[in-house]
Chains A and B, each alone.
Chain A
Amino acid sequence: MATISLSEPDAAHAAPPHARAVRLPTQWLGVAPFFLFAIFFLIAPTAYLILGAFQTPEGTFTLGNLAELWQPTIRAAYWISIKVSFASAVIGALVGLAIAVAIVRGGLPRWVRGATMTFSGVASNFAGVPLAFAFLATLGRLGLVTILLRDIFGFNLYATGFNILSFSGLTLTYLYFQIPLMVVIITPAIDGLKKEWGEAAATLGATQWQYWRMVVIPVLWPSFLGTVILLFANAFGAIATAYALTGSSLNIVPILLYAQIRGDVLHNAHLGYAIAFGMIFITGMANVFYIWFRTRSERWLK
């Protein structure tokens, strides 16, 4: 620090203005590869689709593509996607939180925490096609749990209307990577809850519930909400699991978009852009909400 901060202002004062102008881009050269990479392969392709969503095939501006999203098939696809993502995010977050609290604060042996964290690291990355296979082998018509329930308890799972190729089946499957992801992210936040806060609250006469309501929940809330939104986006964009599980029988948005990309099933390329735009819009709005909430209510955060 010392040598740089000592030499830099001197150079700035001594050198004529144009020398300074030369300095600036060399600084930026260091990060140029990163920004070029991001612009070419992340931002531009996304922007291309977003612009396309507002254009007719002839290139004039239109809101027609967005309006067409309102047709029943597409609307239904968005709705089921939102439902599955929301349910798996919220349930995953709550269950993940419960598990994290249990392993951090539950007084369980040390190895339980270590094992849970390692396993969560694995399971949160065990998504996609193989996960679908695993759940078909578990809860499919010939799955182990389905058969055991039938043979031992005489309980026919599929007679209850359950279907692994449905909203509830997909949600249950998504939880397999959502819960561990929550555990991985929220455990450090729970570690950050100081034991003394609970003791201070107790000496001040607070019950366990009052302590949770007035301190723990407000303190954890930003991380919790942030993770829920991450989980939501995680599920909303996921396609491999659902596609391998249900083929195209469950019409969630990514599968619809997938079919559109492969074969222009909607007979309108720009409607495909609009669907993509809709997906970014929804995950983007979730994040905007989160940022708004955080800046508004968390003045105590540094």
Chain B
Amino acid sequence: MKSGKFWAWLTFGLGAAYFIIPLLATLEFAMRMRRGTYSFDAFAVVFGDPRFQQTFGYSVMAAIFTILLGVLIVVPTAYWIRLRMPHIRPIVEFVTLLPLVIPAIVIVFGYIRMYGSNSPLPFLASARGTDALLVIGYAILALPYMYRAVDTGLRTIDVRTLTEAAQILGAGWATIITRLILPNVLIAVLSGAFLTFAIVIGEFTMASLLNRPAFGPYLQNIGANRAYEPAALAVITFAVTWGCMSVIQMLARFAPKSANRPD
């Protein structure tokens, strides 16, 4: 018993060291910009850079559209599967897991070849079209997380009974989805949304290959040309990710606890 506890602490301690030291080192590095003393100059430079503001803003917008698209695709599907077509659930689950197997670079490569200016669907012919394609690609990347979050959320409420109760009271489908299902899985949807946000905000591969002015390519560019700003950017990105995850944790606390499973 005693020795078990010792090993547990040791494992935890070593793990904590591996994960905390790089964070401290990055912070320390970012503060080295002014010679001989620690300062927040690197952060000031970064925040003052108009390209930082533009690319970060662009990525935030992309994330918001990705979340909207994801919710629009995933919530009705997950709901319909639970309600009417549980037999095709394995197929849907398989499809939602594909983005974990097919690398993002392969997917975007396919986009570039399929949706060029000469194709029947010339997404890449205009900047707006390319933005749309980027958002679509992000929605694909976020699909596994979004679907799982929403499906877990639906499991905690009795979809069938709720729907039938609403139908007996005369509600139509639009009402059922917007007034009944969405509010009940709102917390799950929000968890998925913030996870999506964390994935999208610093994404590099797709944005870079589609030539969009997003935050990820900007980071890479700064990394190749500057010394201290990259560390400051890493700290900022980590803080953003941390913020998203804390929101998810807080949401989890409000999620319905009772698992009233219909099946």
Determine the distance from Cα of A37 to Cα of B88 in the docked complex, in whole angstroms.
Answer: 17
Contact between A176 and B113 (Cβ–Cβ < 8 Å)? Answer: no
Q: Chain A residues near B203 (CB, 8 Å)?
A: 128, 240
Contact between A133 and B102 (Cβ–Cβ < 8 Å)? Answer: no
Q: Which partner residue on chain A sits nearest B168 by CB separation? A: A3
Interface-lining segment among A54-62, A69-77, A117-125, A213-221: A117-125
Contact between A283 and B241 (Cβ–Cβ < 8 Å)? Answer: no
Across the interface, B237 reaches (CB within 8 A) one of A126, A138, A230, A258, namely A126
Determine the distance from Cα of A137 to Cα of B143 in the docked complex, in whole angstroms.
Answer: 33
Query: With A42-B107, A133-B223, A237-B105 known to touch, is A3 a contact of B113 (CB < 8 Å)?
Result: no
Contact between A128 and B22 (Cβ–Cβ < 8 Å)? Answer: no
Interface-lining segment among B33-41, B60-68, B79-87, B182-190: B79-87
Q: Which partner residue on chain A sits nearest B211 by CB separation? A: A262
Query: With A240-B204, A276-B109 known to touch, is A106 a contact of B29 (CB < 8 Å)?
Result: no
Cβ of B149 within 8 Å of any chain A Cβ, yes or no, is no
Cβ of B153 within 8 Å of any chain A Cβ, yes or no, is no
Q: Chain B residues near A243 (CB, 8 Å)?
A: 204, 220
Q: Which among A2, A30, A137, A179 has the greatest number of chain B C-beta atoms within 10 A?
A: A137
Classify the interface of chain A: helix, strand, loop or mixed. helix
Contact between A130 and B5 (Cβ–Cβ < 8 Å)? Answer: no
Q: Which partner residue on chain B sits nearest A115 by CB separation? A: B16
Interface-lining segment among A96-104, A152-160, A294-302: A96-104
Determine the distance from Cα of A251 to Cα of B238 in the docked complex, in whole angstroms.
Answer: 27
For chain B, the count of residues having a C-beta within 8 Å of the partner chain is: 87
Report A254-276 residues with CB < 8 Å from chain B CB: 254, 257-258, 261-262, 272, 276
Report A1-55 residues with CB < 8 Å from chain B CB: 1-4, 27, 30-31, 33-35, 37-38, 41-46, 48-49, 52
Beyond A34-B92, A106-B11, list 4 extra A-B contacts (CB 8 Å). A4-B160, A126-B237, A134-B238, A257-B109
23 contacts between A and B (CB under 8 A): A3-B164, A34-B73, A42-B95, A45-B107, A102-B9, A102-B11, A116-B15, A118-B245, A122-B241, A128-B202, A129-B204, A133-B231, A137-B231, A138-B21, A144-B24, A145-B25, A176-B19, A179-B18, A234-B100, A244-B223, A261-B108, A276-B105, A279-B105
B residues near A, CB below 8 A?
A: 1, 4-5, 7-9, 11-12, 15, 18-19, 21-26, 28-30, 72-74, 76-77, 80-81, 84-85, 88, 92, 95, 98-114, 136-137, 139-140, 143, 160-161, 164, 167-168, 195, 198-199, 202-205, 208-209, 216, 219-220, 223-224, 230-231, 233-234, 237-238, 241-242, 244-246, 248-249, 262
What 6 pairs across the A-B complex have the smallest Cβ distances? A106-B8, A45-B110, A237-B103, A144-B25, A137-B29, A30-B80
